Amino acid sequence: MSKVVWRICLSVCVLLTSVGSFAQSSYEGGARMSASDARSRARVHTELGAAYFEAAHMGAALDELKIALEADSAYAPAYSMRGLVHAHLKEDAKADADFRRALEIAPRDPEVNNNYGWFLCQTGRAKQSVNYFVQALRDPLYETPWHAYTNAGMCSIRAGDLDAAQGYLLNAIRVGRDGAYLARFHLADLLYRRGNLSESRIYLAETMKAIDPPSAEMLWLALRLERRLGNRAAEATHATQLRNRYPTSPEYQEFLKGNFE
């Protein structure tokens, strides 16, 4: 059983327990759902919607988030999660509206700010997006700050601010430690662009050691890096892996065309 499927099953069990408890209390006391019960119901359905989103079941995710917001129309995480679903479906206007509603309710929430920042970055507003990642990082209780640092780094690259990008990615690695592999890869790519080949090789090697098999992007960067360093044997090894693992990838097509830069 995959982690995503297990998470969905676990969420369903929690949901059934919560619903059962509420049904029993309503039957015994004849009371309406309290504010805390409504918030708990919204939270559980939002978590279930998130699990369906991760499993790429977008219809089911939207159904669960609708239930969440019917239970508690002021639950910011549900709007933020629904924004992610709409963004995935390329329904940008709906996504933007959901993210903005979430920010109206919880303007300092780090997850909401991080999600909206990523949406802006993906829709051509990279420079504007960085402000939201910075806002997310202001929360000292933010549990995954390396996500916002990594996103800030990637989006600063898109905005053309390479100095800021390098700083954000280094911070992602610092606070994320062994888990910030995405930051390591993008830092390796940035250092390659800036001509710092030895440093680039170090961060790329750390990434490829942790992720097996390496992605087409990783192999393409490794191939070009070794080419610039003059290591033809390593270049050929990476080229072979790229051809065997990802023969239809854009990276391999660039290799065939000889577009190394």
Over the chain (261 residues), the average pLDDT of each successive run of 10 is 50 50 43 78 96 96 97 97 98 98 97 97 97 97 95 97 97 86 96 96 94 95 97 97 97 93 81
pLDDT given for residue 14 in this prediction: 52
Picking from 195, 199, 189, 194, the residue whose alpha carbon sits closest to that of residue 223 is: 189
Q: Which domains, ranges and CATH numbers included, belong to the chain?
A: 1-18+37-107 (1.25.40.10)
pLDDT given for residue 22 in this prediction: 46
Distances (CA, A) of 158 to 164, 167, 180, 225: 11, 15, 19, 21
> What are the φ and ψ backbone dihedral angles of 191, each rounded to 5 degrees?
-65, -35
Q: Is the dihedral of CA 161, 123, 89, 112 positive or negative?
A: positive
